[in-house]
Amino acid sequence: MAKFVIKGGNQLNGKVKISGAKNSALKIMAASILATGTTILKNVPAIDDVITMVEVLSTIGADISFNSSTNEVKINCDNIKTFEAPYELVRKMRASILVAGPLLSRFGEVKIAIPGGCNIGSRQIDLHLKGFEMLGAQNKLEHGYIYSKVLSSASSSSGHTSISKNFKRKLKGAEINLEFPSRGATENIMMAACLATGKTIINNAAKEPEINDLANFLNKCGAKITGIGTDSIVIEGVEELKGCEYTVMPDSIETGTFIIAGALCGKKIEINNAIWDNMGIFCQKLKDIGVNLINKDADKTIIVKKSKTLLKPAYISTLPFPGFPTDLQPIIAVLLCTIPGISVITENVFENRFMYVDELNRMGANIRIDGHHAVITGVNKLSGAPVNASDLRAGAALVLAGLIADGTTEIYDIHHILRGYENFDKKLRNLGADIVKVN
């Protein structure tokens, strides 16, 4: 079982380049199901979740290849014949649920295993299913699977066959009001609506930059999506989407992770391929705390320098974009637990995202959980210890804690981290960290 071994205390310095966004690349790969011909994706991160999505797509019959050294994916879905996504793959990665919308739109039916909950919460999909119903499908849950099907063509009696026999186009556009701006539901409904007949409006839609990236990809394939980046997305159904070449956006959560690394123990870190505006209020919040951050927009660069002043405790409340990103909540906690005074984190998006707290407390932090609040009393220093990564972002937080802790930290269950960070240890070593991956 692989682990990271970190000797704390090194000052970080130098340049790091941000990889492509996991939470965009996965959805764009799934969206290629909607297109005829070949799709070529660039800047796709070489992470385990991408490998799993390659498995999902090849399992349903896509002709797909991933070159991890050039970060390029080539996909052709012309010959996919099945609309079933098996349990083994969906349980491996929840984001597999994002093939449901494209398959339903293409075949008029889809059978997919219900993705269970994960360490950070129950992870419902009721809003996805409600959206499919509004577009004319009927959902049935049986034996751990969802079976969603358009019984009679919502648009016309015989169904609107188009381009080729396995594009059934049975869905019909509708106005959908989401109870919560769920990213997954917005993405699945937006993809399903692309080949539906008529107009779909998604109100209270999620606005994360990754949603915009997916919408821009779909428009490049010939979709008609407007209202991108707003909470009301409009999709005019079209006859056909054609594969295209597309470059995935940079990963804003990886960007935030390196910004915090710089705030914790950096002299000067230049973060390249980083987009300030994609970070929502995150950067402003760090500046309020006193972190020395410089936005070099024109060069897609963010610079973090050692702060000249004492950092201030803070109140953090996670919210959908442009609010404070829940994926950076465990990571900013590491910074707050070293700042003298009382800080409070309120987690509003997931019901169980404090799994890392016990591990940080084992390293000498002083954090108390009270419902969905974490009350942090700053300590002078952390000490290295053997700890466990419970999920992707909790794991990244423990790596950062290890960088500033006295002595050695060993992090177990790093498979969680490898799911979402490309060459994490190597990038940190290039900045001067003493971190090794031990198999």
Binding site for ligand EPZ (CB under 6 A): 22-23, 26, 95, 121-128, 180, 182-185, 206, 326-327, 349-350, 392-393, 420
CB of 326 to ligand EPZ, least distance (A): 5
CB of 294 to ligand EPZ, least distance (A): 26
CB of 117 to ligand EPZ, least distance (A): 8
Question: Which one of 118, 221, 265, 283 is the catalytic residue?
Answer: 118
CB of 245 to ligand EPZ, least distance (A): 23
Residue ranges in 93-161 assigned as alpha helix (H): 100-107, 126-134
Taking the C-alpha atoms of residue 21 and residue 396, their distance in angstroms, rounded to an integer, is: 16
CB of 371 to ligand EPZ, least distance (A): 15
For residue 45, say if its preceding peptide bond is cis, omega within 30 degrees of 0.
no
Given the complex with ligand EPZ, which of 265 and 397 has the nearer CB atom?
397
- SS (HEC) of 241-277: EECCEEECCECHHHHHHHHHHHHHHEEEEEEECCCHH
CB of 290 to ligand EPZ, least distance (A): 26
Q: Which residue is nearest to ligand EPZ (CB)?
A: 184
CB of 310 to ligand EPZ, least distance (A): 31
Given the complex with ligand EPZ, which of 24 and 292 has the nearer CB atom?
24
CB of 192 to ligand EPZ, least distance (A): 14
From residue 353, give the alpha-carbon distance in Å to each of 311, 318, 370, 394, 398: 25, 11, 12, 8, 14
Given the complex with ligand EPZ, which of 213 and 327 has the nearer CB atom?
327
The angle, 0 to 180 degrees and rounded to 10, between the axes of the packed helices 22-31 and 48-59 is 10
Given the complex with ligand EPZ, which of 32 and 155 has the nearer CB atom?
32
Given the complex with ligand EPZ, which of 181 and 384 has the nearer CB atom?
181
Given the complex with ligand EPZ, which of 180 and 315 has the nearer CB atom?
180
Choose among 234, 206, 202: nearest CA to 218.
234
Give exposure, 197-233, as e/b (b: 16+ Cβ within 10 Å).
beebbbebbbbbbbbbbbbbbbbbbbbebeebeeeeb
Taking the C-alpha atoms of residue 350 and residue 370, their distance in angstroms, rounded to an integer, is: 15
Helix (H) or strand (E) holding 216: helix 209-220
Given the complex with ligand EPZ, which of 125 and 389 has the nearer CB atom?
125
Helix (H) or strand (E) holding 305: strand 301-305
Q: Is there a contact between 191 and 233 (Cβ–Cβ < 8 Å)?
A: no
Whether 283 is catalytic:
no
From residue 35, give the alpha-carbon distance in Å to each of 29, 31, 241, 372: 11, 8, 5, 42
CB of 407 to ligand EPZ, least distance (A): 28
Per-residue DSSP letter, 187: H
Taking the C-alpha atoms of residue 250 and residue 245, their distance in angstroms, rounded to an integer, is: 16
Given the complex with ligand EPZ, which of 121 and 222 has the nearer CB atom?
121
Choose among 426, 339, 436, 342: nearest CA to 382.
339
Instruction: Name every residue whose Cβ is closer than 8 Å to that of residue 298 and which is 6 or more positions away in sequence.
Output: none
Tokens of 37: 């011909």
Given the complex with ligand EPZ, which of 23 and 212 has the nearer CB atom?
23
For residue 134, give the amino acid letter.
Answer: M
For residue 127, give the amino acid letter.
Answer: L
Angle ∠(27,302,22) on CA atoms, nearest 5: 15
Residues marked as catalytic: 118
